[in-house]
């Protein structure tokens, strides 16, 4: 029985840094750098006490729009992020970038980093969307079909091919190709911040000002995988097959790769050895070269330059509108540098696809292992981060339970105190009110204490109270008990019974009269 669909396992190995944008940037106020890692975080998740100096400082800086100040705040308070483990995404960085982040101004030296497409929680890893791969295949297929129909009028050929292959989904031939996203094959697939420098193709230059892009690190062996499925049309025929796609990809991208490398080698911008090593990797079955992501227009257009129209900036003087020219190819190219001061450069976006592999590709594996890669065990890091986050949550829960118990205890004490007050007479409530006032006042020697004088006056007034009220006051302002009674509010009352001072003697007499029958 003929299968109505065919599914193939596809592995992807980055041959050079790959950047696939996601419309987001790492802003210098949303990341910190510690050692060789960038820690991205959401400021809204910061756990800062609203009464703390840190909170007031950060709030003030943010309110004024002082982004440089916010950046410097996080530089000196990295532990707010590191200790709380709120960073859910990490990327490797070149050593010199930490110095730039710490010492260069946001305004003078833009510190935004173009972020790569990423998988959200709980993965927090870069990935390659299927749409990008399918678009790269479409370019190769269109170029092949165009060359096959080259005798037809160019414009008509182009429009017809667009409709047939990548037009409306319900009508296009590409609806019979289904790619899943290329997902990391392990938790240690890494990304790194690279410097992207723009060079002239046909003139000697030192390159423009660098921008920074997070890229999937090259030479990570079979670091991504996807499922490729072909389905039949209404006549039960396969419009595309695996071998067709491999052929179209190699015809287009190997040719494009060779032309670009010849130019770059002539300009002494890339290594001839790297170029030759890549060509050697392509000598195998079920292998295809592809180019992905942000890498320049020449690998996204027909190879027939007679119909290519690329709009390029011809001239741009300050305070004047730029002048554009329409050319058959771009005049500049972006190259990746791991270190801004390094002379080594490589083109963006090249990758190797392997279809239905049944064994290791030793040639590719050995080539990948030649490069020393940064060491960052994301699996261990995420496990440790999860453990720390659980510890923080447990501590926060303990603090919450303790705070709630304290609140309930205080509420109970308050209710009991109120119940006690409700059961007291007016004079007894007056005593409680005085004790509450004295609690807030400064503790002084009894000879100069306003509290002692006020207590003595209260004793004089209490002589007219009823027996129960007099006994109540007698106990409450007992001056003989250490750290209790009146000694809580007045100093110098130790050994009160033996004190000879006139005020102390008078106090003793008045207090004793309260309980005299």
Q: Do 296 and 349 share a domain, yes or no? A: yes
- Return the pLDDT at 169: 45
Is residue 329 situated within a structural domain?
yes
- Pick the more confident residue, 289 or 241: 289
Q: Do 499 and 370 share a domain, yes or no? A: no
Q: Is the pLDDT of residue 153 over 70?
A: no
- Pick the more confident residue, 63 or 146: 63
Q: Is the pLDDT of residue 273 over 50?
A: yes
- Pick the more confident residue, 189 or 154: 189
Q: Do 157 and 169 share a domain, yes or no? A: yes
Q: Do 215 and 332 share a domain, yes or no? A: yes
C-beta of residue 223 within 8 angstroms of C-beta of residue 13: yes
- Return the pLDDT at 185: 93
Tokens representing residue 368 in the block: 């990948």
Tell me the CA distances in angstroms from 232 to 3, 235, 421, 442, one per residue in order: 9, 7, 88, 91
Q: Do 496 and 347 share a domain, yes or no? A: no
Condensed to tens digits (0 to 9), the pLDDT of residues 326-377 reads 665 677 889 999 887 778 899 999 999 999 998 999 999 999 999 888 777 7
Tokens representing residue 410 in the block: 């205080």
DSSP E strand boundaries for 169-223: 177-179, 183-184, 191-200, 211-216
- Return the pLDDT at 422: 85
This prediction has a pTM of 0.72
- Pick the more confident residue, 321 or 315: 321
Is residue 37 situated within a structural domain?
no
Q: Do 327 and 400 share a domain, yes or no? A: no
- Pick the more confident residue, 50 or 29: 29
User: d(Cα 249, Cα 12) in Å, to the nearest integer?
Assistant: 14
Is residue 34 situated within a structural domain?
no
What's the number of domains the chain is made of?
A: 3
* 192 bridge partner residues: 92, 215
Long-range contacts of 439-443 (CB under 8 A, 24+ apart): 439/488, 439/489, 441/489, 443/489, 443/490, 443/491
- Return the pLDDT at 421: 79
- Return the pLDDT at 168: 45
- Pick the more confident residue, 318 or 471: 471
- Return the pLDDT at 365: 96
Chain-wide mean pLDDT for the chain?
84
Q: Do 256 and 392 share a domain, yes or no? A: no
Q: Do 286 and 179 share a domain, yes or no? A: yes
Question: Domain range spanning residue 121?
Answer: 5-27+112-376
Question: What is the average per-residue pLDDT within 175-187?
Answer: 89
Q: Determine how β-strand 490-491 pairs with β-strand 444-445.
A: parallel
């Amino acid at each position: 029985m003929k299968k109505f669909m065919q599914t193939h396992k596809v592995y992807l190995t980055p041959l050079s840094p790959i950047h696939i944008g996601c419309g987001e940037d790492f802003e210098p106020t949303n990341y910190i750098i510690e050692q060789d890692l960038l820690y991205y975080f959401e400021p809204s998740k910061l756990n800062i006490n609203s009464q703390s100096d840190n909170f007031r400082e950060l709030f003030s800086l943010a309110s004024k729009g002082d982004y440089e100040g916010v950046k410097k705040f996080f530089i000196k308070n990295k532990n707010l992020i590191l200790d709380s483990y709120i960073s859910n995404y990490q990327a490797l960085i070149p050593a010199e970038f930490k110095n730039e982040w710490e010492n260069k101004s946001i305004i003078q030296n833009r510190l935004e980093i173009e972020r790569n497409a990423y998988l959200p929680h709980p993965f927090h890893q870069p990935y390659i969307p299927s749409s990008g791969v399918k678009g790269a295949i479409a370019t190769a297929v269109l170029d092949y079909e165009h060359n096959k129909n080259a005798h037809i009028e160019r414009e008509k050929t182009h429009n017809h091919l667009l409709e047939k292959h990548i037009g409306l989904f319900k009508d296009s031939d590409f609806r019979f190709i289904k790619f899943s996203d290329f997902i990391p094959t392990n938790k240690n697939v890494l990304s790194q911040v690279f410097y992207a420098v723009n060079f002239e193709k046909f003139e000697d230059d030192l390159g423009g000002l660098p921008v920074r892009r997070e890229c999937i690190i090259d030479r990570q062996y079979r670091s991504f995988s996807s499922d490729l499925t072909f389905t039949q049309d209404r006549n039960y025929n396969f419009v595309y097959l695996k071998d067709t796609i491999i052929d179209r990809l190699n015809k287009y991208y190997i040719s494009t790769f060779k032309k670009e490398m010849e130019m770059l080698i002539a300009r002494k911008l890339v290594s001839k050895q790297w170029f030759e090593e890549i060509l050697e990797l392509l000598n195998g079955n079920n292998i295809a070269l592809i180019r992905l992501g942000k890498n320049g227009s020449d690998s996204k257009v027909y190879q027939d330059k007679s119909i290519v129209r690329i709009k390029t900036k011809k001239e741009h003087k300050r305070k004047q509108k730029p002048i554009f020219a329409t050319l058959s190819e771009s005049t500049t190219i972006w190259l990746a540098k791991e270190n801004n001061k390094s002379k080594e450069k490589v083109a963006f976006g090249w990758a190797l696809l392997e279809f239905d592999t049944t064994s290791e590709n030793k040639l590719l594996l050995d080539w990948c292992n030649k490069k020393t890669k940064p060491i960052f065990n994301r699996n261990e890091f995420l496990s440790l981060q999860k453990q720390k986050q659980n510890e923080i949550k447990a501590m926060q829960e303990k603090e919450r339970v303790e705070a709630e118990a304290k609140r309930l205890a205080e509420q109970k004490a308050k209710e009991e105190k109120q119940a006690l007050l409700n059961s007291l007479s007016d004079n007894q409530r007056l005593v409680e009110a005085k004790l509450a006032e004295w609690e807030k006042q400064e503790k002084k020697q009894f000879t100069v204490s306003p509290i002692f004088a006020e207590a003595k006056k209260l004793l004089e007034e209490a002589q007219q109270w009823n027996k129960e009220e007099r006994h109540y006051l007698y106990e409450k302002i007992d001056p003989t008990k250490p750290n209790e009674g009146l000694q809580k509010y007045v100093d110098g009352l130790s050994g009160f019974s033996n004190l000879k001072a006139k005020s102390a003697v008078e106090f003793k007499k008045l207090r004793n009269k309260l309980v005299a029958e």
